[in-house]
Chain A
Amino acid sequence: GAVVSQHPSRVICKSGTSVKIECRSLDFQATTMFWYRQFPKQSLMLMATSNEGSKATYEQGVEKDKFLINHASLTLSTLTVTSAHPEDSSFYICSARRVDRLTDTQYFGPGTRLTVL
């Protein structure tokens, strides 16, 4: 399968600070990447769709000014959690869309576990 990386894998920060998470597609170009959030024992919830070279599309209820998304290249999307608070503590996972002749699938990064103190 395709390889998608995320960095950092785990971050602990103080309330009020900003945290940047990087998502990279390592062996393919991804015009579209997706950002999900998963709370314990719950399913993945889509936060936003990130398109290379254009503004991200946010899901209802997700604050675009709080969760800044940048997709500046075909292999990198970043999510910045601004002024993080304890309720933002969660598992953040990105996925990258890979398209080839036969398939159109999404591959997930390993996730970033954010803990806000």
Chain B
Amino acid sequence: QKEVEQNSGPLSVPEGAIASLNCTYSDRGSQSFFWYRQYSGKSPELIMFIYSNGDKEDGRFTAQLNKASQYVSLLIRDSQPSDSATYLCAVARQAGTALIFGKGTTLSVSS
């Protein structure tokens, strides 16, 4: 079983819709969870981090964490064409340790 799994997509949503991106992880001891956005040819950009169970909202983005189910998700409300990118889920066993990345989900938002 891979450490961090994401559906590679592509996930296609129309402009204005909600995009839902999912991620599961295998290490139950993981403590920190991150979502990064990566445009083609660019390095990852941090969108959200979440440490505790529940929801965390920041603008149009909401991260959801369920440690019992080893599941973390990212919701993007009012999706825009500029949100089209690959979204990487990353997990760290302890704060400050290296991130383990999923392979990413490609999101395509059509206008």
Contacts and interface: CB of A to CB of B under 8 A. Distances in A.
Interface residues of B, number: 19
B103 A46 contact: no
Given A42-B103, A44-B88, A104-B32, A111 B43 contact: yes
Interface secondary structure of A, over-half rule? strand
B43 A97 contact: no
Contacts, number: 46
Contact of B96 (A44, A91, A97, A108): A97
A104 B43 contact: no
A106 B102 contact: no
Contact of B95 (A34, A42, A91, A104): A104
Contacts of B100: 46
A105 B46 CA distance: 9
Nearest to B4: A43
Nearest to B32: A104
A99 B95 CA distance: 9
Contacts of A109: 43
A49 B92 CA distance: 13
Nearest to B49: A105
B23 to A, nearest CB: 12
Contacts of B43: 91, 93, 108-111
A85 B96 CA distance: 32
A8 B102 CA distance: 27
The 4 closest A-B pairs by CB, nearest first: A104-B95, A111-B43, A43-B103, A108-B43
